Amino acid sequence: MAFEVYKPNNENGYIVSVSKNHLTLNKRLITKLNPSYVQLAYDSETKTIRIKPSSDESGLIVNKNKIGARGFFKHFKIQNKGKFNATYDENEKAVYIRL
């Protein structure tokens, strides 16, 4: 018999939920990032979203742990939905989500 080990979704890691209209960051990630406004960017080659704190009101508002990203998803034609592991880059103070 070949057994496969079950690895549950680790909420202690950095997790981002992508829905039709929002990006939702888990508690650990939102406390690490701690933004009021964020800047979103997308790399279409690697299908990676970058979330970076924005210093002014030109960014998107972070409401508790949700970022309204409907226009962002439409602009880049992103249709992926679900929970994704994220990485936090300490040097850039940015979150990367590979879809």
**Per-residue pLDDT reduced to its tens digit, 31-77:** 888 888 999 999 999 999 999 998 777 789 999 899 999 999 999 99
CA atoms within 13 A on the CB side of 24: 10
Tell me what pLDDT residue 31 has: 86
Lowest mean pLDDT, pick from 4-8, 10-14, 49-53, 78-82: 10-14
Q: Taking the model in full, what pTM does it have? A: 0.82
Task: Show me where the domains of the chain are located.
Answer: 15-98
E-strand ranges in the chain read 15-18, 22-25, 37-43, 48-53, 60-63, 66-68, 82-89, 94-98
